[in-house]
A = this chain, B = another copy of it.
Amino acid sequence: MTERLIQSIERAADVLELFLTNGPELSVKEISDKLQLSKSTVHGIIKTLEHRGYLQQNPEDLKYKLGIKLFTLGNFVGKHLDIGNIARPIIRELADEVNETVHLVTIQRDEVIYIEKVEGPRALTIYSHIGKRAPVHCTGVGKAILAHLSEKEVDRLLSAASLEAFTGYTMTDVNQIKKQLVTIRETGYAVDDEEIELGLKCIAAPIFNHKGNVIASISCAAPKMRLVEEKLPRVIAGIKSAAAEISKSLGYKGNNF
């Protein structure tokens, strides 16, 4: 199990990923400081990445930013993430119907990742974007997926995630979360009620592939005050049926349990 990892590639990855967290433009010095590597080392890495189009230098201030090659590769990946293509029209329709923002996510490396987003017509926008990652334990989409994984997987994911508390409502007790997963399985949808961000509520439902495994989920996210009373049942029904429709398009045969 001793994998042979190549240091310079890891370092290059460190450099690239630094841009995700530290803003779109960085100087050699900023990078070498953050990564604790010598300027000359960082310079070498950067020039190589630039040469390949993974970074590009701004001639004005000599700073660097992520390059077009990444955009090309990213789009290629997106194209072959076929669930996105299938789900897109369906969630778009749902977003129109409920007048709210709808997200599509999958689970990857212990976290939830947003692969599609349709903004509702209402201007008030939720902070999220395609490619964003979020924890599983305190998002509707995360819990919708968790609820349909094996006990073993759930344990792994909940222990890997540090169960950070983002708000006073975030659940940080594994058993408490597991208990909720039962309800989610029974009702067919998951709720995130200000567990990751105050004022934000989400209703989510799972998506299954042709083998019957959960591979994704969708959610409707809105300011808490908008998901109430008469509207809530409509949103729940909408999310559940949209999720079911996507599952069906993916070849899922139905819920036999």
Contacts and interface: CB of A to CB of B under 8 A. Distances in A.
Interface stretch (A126-134, A155-163, A164-172, A218-226): A126-134
Interface string A70-100: 1111111111110001100000000000000
Given A44-B4, A47-B3, A78 B251 contact: yes
A246 to B, nearest CB: 11
A66 B169 CA distance: 37
Contact of A16 (B56, B73, B109, B129): B73
Q: How many copies does the complex hold?
A: 2
Instruction: Indicate the size class of the contact surface on chain A.
Output: 35 or more
Interface in A1-24: 3-6, 8-10, 12-13, 16-17, 19-20, 24
Contacts of A250: 75
Given A4-B44, A6-B8, A9-B12, A68 B77 contact: yes
A71 B115 contact: yes
Given A20-B72, A73-B73, 17 more contacts: A3-B51, A5-B51, A6-B8, A9-B12, A12-B12, A17-B69, A66-B73, A66-B76, A68-B109, A68-B113, A68-B249, A71-B78, A71-B86, A73-B131, A74-B75, A74-B77, A78-B251
9 contacts: A12-B12, A19-B73, A66-B80, A70-B73, A71-B115, A74-B131, A75-B129, A75-B130, A75-B251
